[in-house]
Structure 1
Amino acid sequence: MPLIRPFAALRPAPGRAAEIIAPPYDVLNTGEARVLAQDKPWSFLHISKPEIDLPEGTDPYAPEVYAKAAQNLAEMIAAGVLQRDDKPCYYVYRLIMGDRTQTGLVASASVAAYDSNRIRRHEFTRPDKEDDRVRQIDALNAQTGPVLLAYPDAPAVDAILAEVSAGVPEADAVAESGVRHTLWVVRDVQIIAELTGYFEALPALYIADGHHRSAAASRIAASRRTGDAEADHEYFLAVMFPYHQMRILDYNRLIRDLQGLGEAEFLERVAGCFDIEASVGQVHPARPGEFGLYLGGRWLRLTIHGALIPQDPVGRLDVSLLHDHLIEPILGIADARRDKRIDFVGGIRGLGELERRVDGGEMALAFSLCPTRMEDLMAVADAGEVMPPKSTWFEPKLADGMISHVIV
């Protein structure tokens, strides 16, 4: 089975993308989705968050929610708002956010490659979130949420994507976030064959975002397996970008209290592992091993003692260093996934959000971190290890509704 292959996508009809595309289903809650989809009958939120079309208070995991998603998808297809290509193609997807551009390939990726770890992961998944995606895919007979993948250096692939995207796009829309989403269709069989071959020569692909979607696709494939390795359910929807174009933002931490310590005693204990320096303004860490601490209305710069940085790919991550030498031993938070005393804020919100929540008394202190590097993510995945929770925040994000993969 090839690592990737073309597929006949279900996508917006010409000129309809702006009416359809929506934020990923997992970055907004039901209330936010309801507001965003108001007066937008073709918003993909009616498929990705279908509880917005049911009475308020409906359990988003209830059977009628998935049934509503299937009904809404069928109505959009019947109305001609979504159309399916008549033959398998590849697609070039470009994201533009401010002065940043990334251009990638949309394909169906092999479940077998995922199961054998050629498509590599770096996160644990939660069973409840996996179950939700399995039920959604089963109800729709389609994968509507793409998995975000990174590929290692492949200049020949980059060149083809640049050439294709020099032409006129078949979809071009600006989302509410201001991110521009553009799509080109690759129908040329020779170019398709070249791309397939170039990807087949790569040692691995890396999941950046979408661990629950890929895990759900694997479960769907296992449940539907008939022995036909070419069946659509043996592949999942993926958008692959060159790793060097991908942008990870900082993923910052807020802590509710000082674990009974006074401010002076807390800082004295921090000084056992970190150099502490006063800052005249916000601390945006510029290099690994450096952290910002907002406490008592002021910013401090923390730099971990070099001797404490291990060589292993997980232990040397900034999120690990902060947790292992401060958050757990000093603040008593051992399980960052479940402890209610810690919260996480993506860097897209800015450091002002940290100040606001500390100054307002909701939280006692905050930490700003240097963004995780793509090279570190790939090293963790190559080692077969798992990153700590809330290690990466990717921007810009793919849109739901720009492209879907039918699996019947």
Structure 2
Amino acid sequence: MAKIVPFKAVRPTRDKVSLVTSRSYDEYSPAELASQLDFNPFSFLHVLNPAYVNTQKIGLEKRFKLVAQKYNDFKDEFFLVKEERPVFFIYEIQTKNHHFTGIIAGTSIEDYQNNIIKRHEDTLQYRVELFKDYLHQTRFNTEPVLMTYPDDADLARWIDQKKQLPSLYEFSTTKREKHILWKIDQPDEMTWLEQKFASIKNLYIADGHHRSASAELLYQEDKDSGNENLNFFMSFLIAESNVKIYEYNRIIRDLNHHTKEEFLAKLSEIFKIKNKEQELWKPSKKFEFGMYLDGEFYSLKLKDTQNFTTVLESLDAQILYEKVLHPILGITDLRNDERIDYIPGKQSIINMKEIIDEGEFEVGFTLFPTDIAEIKELADHNLIMPPKSTYIDPKFRSGLVVYEI
């Protein structure tokens, strides 16, 4: 059964929270990043990239030490404060179209090792080791692993009751999102929450496979140190019906020496093809794919949907790879082949059209999003999704809550 624990979180002071917290570092364009670093001295981006002007001139070990130093500077200047005792948090993100609410807690390395915490994505060992080294040098993490738990009526009611209480923070961002944080620090409430999760059989990683693997690797290397914080890693736990899963669409640079006519002929052996011309068409159900080629949109509907023996084989991203990307377009390595790139499905299809019209890419495919049931079935059978199969919201604010190691 799942084990969660409260922890002594570090967080911004109430008056500076909207200035300190930031989007994930890699979500900023170079111009946005420079603007934040030049004009906002409180931004947590200063911690994440303390030597941004000289990033290419210093080694990783020195860079990580500078991160740790800048983090401690933020604490020394009281931009960040530490809880006096372990607590949980309830965190809500309100966007134009969705409200996401979950619990911030420590989750167990032992549960991760014993497959109580289940995963559905593969990891790259170099990225796992890189982030492990980062954690070892900086001794903190501010990006929780996003996990889902089965919908639970009692837990939902409890969260709704806690949300009626005064919040710790409530602030808006330039992306027109509203963020609200409540602290759960009463012993009886924390005990109830721990016991509630102890009745849950499994948690499922939605986003953060590399972060959880890095935490486990750091635990393996440093477990004899006696540091109990290594036994857990920070997670944002959210009901499975409350996550929003988007597809990742694919764009490919060329047709692998096929003419347009040859390519369409090969596709017609697998799909029922309909030319949608200038209609911005996207698939509306499983086994449908959209395509943009030579200035026109197409619908592709899989002819044979019966001969699948596993959930992985029936996954749309896997079908596209097995039927088109690999045998026809010659793409074998979905992670590293420079001929393919990915666009999150939350972006407009017009964005894909514009990229292809510019001429660097020749064809694009849109997919229908995977649902949470498929993700759970994959994880339950220890199956791994193809790279870039899902883009999952919500996204956590860096610097909002920090877990120290």
Alignment equivalent of 2:338, drawn from 324, 337, 340: 340
Separation in structure 2 between the aligned mates of residue 210 and residue 25 of structure 1, nearest angstrom: 15
Cα shift at 1:28: 4.4
How big is the alpha-carbon RMSD for the aligned residues of Structure 1 and Structure 2? 1.8
> Please, which moves more after superposition, 322-331 or 102-111?
322-331
Separation in structure 2 between the aligned mates of residue 82 and residue 199 of structure 1, nearest angstrom: 29
Change (3 A) 1:204 1:56: closer
Separation in structure 2 between the aligned mates of residue 402 and residue 4 of structure 1, nearest angstrom: 19
Partner of 1:253: 250
1:112 aligns with 2:110: yes
Separation in structure 2 between the aligned mates of residue 212 and residue 262 of structure 1, nearest angstrom: 40
Letter in 1 for 2:267: V
- 3-state secondary structure, aligned to 2:224: coil
Alignment equivalent of 2:137, drawn from 136, 139, 142: 139
Separation in structure 2 between the aligned mates of residue 390 and residue 309 of structure 1, nearest angstrom: 24
- 3-state secondary structure, aligned to 2:305: helix
Partner of 1:23: 23
Change (3 A) 1:106 1:232: same
User: TM-score under structure 2 normalisation?
Assistant: 0.95
Separation in structure 2 between the aligned mates of residue 287 and residue 309 of structure 1, nearest angstrom: 18
Aligned pairs for 1:88-167 within 5 A: 88-167=86-165
Q: Is the 8 A contact 2:272 2:301 kept in 1?
A: yes
Change (3 A) 1:127 1:28: farther
**How many residues align structurally?**
404
Cα shift at 1:308: 5.3
Q: Is the 8 A contact 1:21 1:175 kept in 2?
A: no
Cα shift at 1:50: 3.2
Cα shift at 1:186: 0.5
> Please, which moves more after superposition, 111-120 or 279-288?
279-288
Letter in 2 for 1:403: V
Partner of 2:372: 374
- 3-state secondary structure, aligned to 2:56: coil
Alignment equivalent of 1:272, drawn from 269, 272, 278: 269
Separation in structure 2 between the aligned mates of residue 43 and residue 246 of structure 1, nearest angstrom: 27
Separation in structure 2 between the aligned mates of residue 70 and residue 347 of structure 1, nearest angstrom: 35
Aligned pairs for 1:323-402 within 5 A: 323-402=321-400
Cα shift at 1:51: 3.7
User: TM-score under structure 1 normalisation?
Assistant: 0.94
Letter in 2 for 1:287: K
1:306 aligns with 2:304: yes
Deviations 1:170-203 (A, max 9, x none): 1123234332222100012111111111111111
User: What percentage of aligned pairs have identical amino acids?
Assistant: 28
Separation in structure 1 between the aligned mates of residue 173 and residue 120 of structure 2, nearest angstrom: 29
Alignment equivalent of 2:315, drawn from 317, 325, 345: 317
Partner of 1:181: 179
Deviations 1:288-335 (A, max 9, x none): 111110001010011112335514121111101111111111111111
Separation in structure 2 between the aligned mates of residue 112 and residue 68 of structure 1, nearest angstrom: 31
Q: Is the 8 A contact 2:147 2:203 kept in 1?
A: yes
Change (3 A) 1:288 1:3: same
Partner of 2:237: 240
Deviations 1:364-408 (A, max 9, x none): 01001111111111111111111100011012311111101112x
Q: Is the 8 A contact 2:345 2:391 kept in 1?
A: yes
Unaligned runs of 5+ in 1: none
Q: Is the 8 A contact 1:15 1:171 kept in 2?
A: no
Change (3 A) 1:367 1:209: same
- 3-state secondary structure, aligned to 1:167: coil
Separation in structure 1 between the aligned mates of residue 265 and residue 26 of structure 2, nearest angstrom: 40
> Please, which moves more after superposition, 305-314 or 117-126?
305-314
Separation in structure 2 between the aligned mates of residue 31 and residue 72 of structure 1, nearest angstrom: 22
Partner of 1:50: 50
Separation in structure 2 between the aligned mates of residue 376 and residue 154 of structure 1, nearest angstrom: 20
Letter in 2 for 1:145: E
Separation in structure 2 between the aligned mates of residue 18 and residue 76 of structure 1, nearest angstrom: 15
- 3-state secondary structure, aligned to 1:55: helix
Deviations 1:214-239 (A, max 9, x none): 111111111221386x8111100100
Cα shift at 1:31: 6.6
Separation in structure 2 between the aligned mates of residue 44 and residue 136 of structure 1, nearest angstrom: 16
Unaligned runs of 5+ in 2: none
